[in-house]
Amino acid sequence: MKKRVGVLALQGAFREHRQVLEKLGCDVVEVRKTSDLDGIQGLIIPGGESTTIGKLLRIDEMGDKIKELGAKDMPIFGTCAGMILLSKTIVDSEQYSLNLMDTVVERNAFGRQIASFETDLQVPALGVNPLRAVFIRAPYLKEVAPNVGILAEYNGKIVFVRQGNLLASAFHPELTSDHRVHQYFLKMIDEH
């Protein structure tokens, strides 16, 4: 049976995640309101502006529902803004957080857009071939709790982690044609 995976579609690059998931044979739900969360087996929180998505998550207690699903072990994958929203601590910011991962995240940590870059990343969990990773005004994790597994670093900065049912990347695997990160997330759903 096809996996039913939600992509949070309030703002940001949700279409790209949808296209990758469809290519990988999933039934994709664009999540715009709280009831769209019913019946999904996993959720992707896409890149976008974390402050914008955070404000829209407060409406209709949608954020609370996602927190509840995450606490109940539903697999959730956040990319870029999604990584920020999943982190319990956001450096120098009062903005909304889903408060799920034991991580300290710094926004725009590599600098403004003129510092945005793409690079080859070594991710042992995905095999020996490097992963082309696109970083756009990207965050990184300044600290992670011992229960958080580090999947990749770039120049000593933590950019890809897993904590049980939660996965977070500072880069955008939805913008490249290498789908190993999404496949890894779908395996998390299988194992759930």
Partner 1 sequence: MTDIGSFKVKTGLAEMLKGGVIMDVTTPEQAIIAEEAGACAVMALERVPSDIRAEGGVARMADPSIIQSIMAVVSIPVMAKARIGHFVEARILEALGADYIDESEVLTPADDSYHINKHDFKVPFVCGCRNLGEALRRIGEGAAMIRTKGEPGTGNVIEAVRHMRTVMSEIRALTLTPKEELMSAAKNMGAPYDLVLYVAEHGKLPVVNFAAGGIATPADAALMMHLGVDGIFVGSGIFKSGDPKARAKAIVMATTHYKDAKLLAEISKDLGQPMSGIEISTLTESQRMQERGW
Binding site for partner 1 (CB under 8 A): 9-16, 32-33, 47-49, 51-52, 55-56, 59, 80-81, 93, 107-108, 112-120, 134-137, 172, 175
Instruction: Provide the residue count of the chain.
Output: 192
| 18 labeled part of a ligand binding site | no
Catalytic residue status for 80: yes
Catalytic residue status for 143: no
Amino acid letter, 40: I
Q: Shortest distance, CB of residue 147 to partner 1, whole angstroms?
A: 28
* Catalytic annotation, pick one of 16, 106, 172, 182: 172
Q: Shortest distance, CB of residue 125 to partner 1, whole angstroms?
A: 21
Closest Cα to residue 56, out of 66, 69, 41, 68? 66
Tell me how many degrees the CA angle 63-190-31 measures, rounded to the nearest 5.
30
Q: Shortest distance, CB of residue 152 to partner 1, whole angstroms?
A: 14
**Nearer to partner 1 (CB atom), residue 52 or residue 71:** 52
d(CA 56, CA 168): 20
| 63 labeled part of a ligand binding site | no
d(CA 54, CA 175): 22
The Cβ of residue 64 has, within 10 Å, a number of other Cβ atoms equal to 13
SS (HEC) of 149-163:
EEEEEECCEEEEEEE
* Catalytic annotation, pick one of 16, 17, 80, 182: 80
Catalytic residue status for 26: no
Annotated binding site: 48-50, 107, 136-137
The residues annotated as belonging to the active site are 80, 172, 174
Annotated binding site for L-glutamine: 48-50, 107, 136-137
